[in-house]
Chains A and B, each alone.
Chain A
């Protein structure tokens, strides 16, 4: 089978097996979070967190600390900073995000140019899935498993908080902890995607699968299912495209996710149900 070979042949290489599993893991984690990111309207916030991870990674690399800790700390700091800028000054949320996003990213570049750690800036930003070490793979799996497990365990609290923050606060749910928790989860997902799509293009996996799912899903369960299918398919297909065309894996994965979204939009236009939303009686 030609198709079979197309799929199996690259997996003969050790680096491709590593890359395959890593991409798969990132695809699952990012697309699960994607549902909330899209529904809550946090695309720009996710973008800001992914950019702001850079100075954390750079500092950690310069000081020889684990990249994960540096990146997570930077992601959380940025999300707190956005909240402070928004509430203390009178700027709008998107402006606050814009300020923090560029500021933290610039800080990262400055730190990297000063200390020149051994990490390749291009790989951090756009991924280098073909150089996934066993250690990288283990980090990705561990972070992803942790994020998905916590997310699933507190799903109903997360949905309640993001759907109606004031009610959830008044009802006595720990809003601040849920909010911080979500910021940590997004930061960790960004870091876990470091090798596959990089911290910039990971936003495509944090936004696009959820957006595609929203076109079709009639309830939350369906939305998670479609989003995860899209995330995994984008990661895997993108990886193979990267292998066969010898181009950037981050680029092909993000492009595949984007292509799925537009294809889905067209499909929905062509075959989507024309049934009108019935106004409920009484």
Chain B
């Protein structure tokens, strides 16, 4: 079976800044991977390359067995809050139905009782809120609206950009419940986080990234003090290690 996502010697350069250097790793289908690393460590560059928004200077990205340029539509992107325009007076349904635009096609409307939209709302626990304005929702609910839109798109690979930023523990729990369910359906999830206190037991793999791959593999192999100090720099490591030990009770 082909990998859901594979980076092969990926190098991305902005001006003279090397954002990613010779990054190679592969993620199997039906798994959850966390991309962890310091800010400026190339997490968002990796995501942009993963959806074809940034062209690498060398190497390539293979998504679901095909080159990234041909995989548009099979990948769903869950943005950070700052990436969308909140002035739009859109309801939850309005946003989730955007996931169906490509499938429904131009010049046709998404029916109000569209099965895929309703299922996505149900899976994310948003059915009761479907007529609410998205700007009136809590941070965790807004997050789930974007996830529901990705589900409605029926993508095979989900890219979540810093989904844990600014949501509370309860919302985080709900998010992981939904992600686990998606995983059980064979979907592949790649999410970035700079927060080392996440519940890492849910992840098959962790990619520790500081412009190049520091380590890739199961959490207990990757989250070692040597790797973390290589990723975060020695002065900040102590602080992070405290976090990691606190949450690493599962080990």
Binding site for B on A (CB under 8 A): 38-41, 90, 153-154, 156-157, 159-160, 162-164, 166-173, 214, 217-220, 222-223, 277-280, 282
Contacts and interface: CB of A to CB of B under 8 A. Distances in A.
The A interface, classified by DSSP as helix, strand, loop or mixed, is: helix
A195 B83 CA distance: 39
A169 B107 CA distance: 18
A214 B102 contact: no
B53 A166 contact: yes
Listed residue (A153, A171, A222) with the most chain B CB atoms within 10 angstroms of its CB = A171
Given A166-B51, A280-B136, A172 B89 contact: no
Contacts of B85: 39-41, 162-164
Contacts of A172: 72-73, 102
A163 B141 contact: no
A160 B101 contact: yes
B151 to A, nearest CB: 12
A166 B73 contact: no
Interface of B: 15, 51, 53, 72-73, 75-77, 79, 83-85, 87-91, 94-95, 98-99, 101-102, 106-107, 109-110, 125, 129, 132-133, 136-138, 141, 146, 149, 153, 159
Nearest to A156: B101
Given A154-B106, A160-B101, 10 more contacts: A159-B88, A163-B85, A166-B77, A169-B51, A170-B53, A170-B72, A218-B89, A222-B89, A280-B141, A282-B141
A160 B102 CA distance: 11
A223 B89 contact: yes
A220 B90 contact: yes
B133 to A, nearest CB: 7
Contact of B110 (A153, A156, A164, A219): A156
Nearest to A214: B87
Contact of B90 (A153, A157, A163, A282): A163
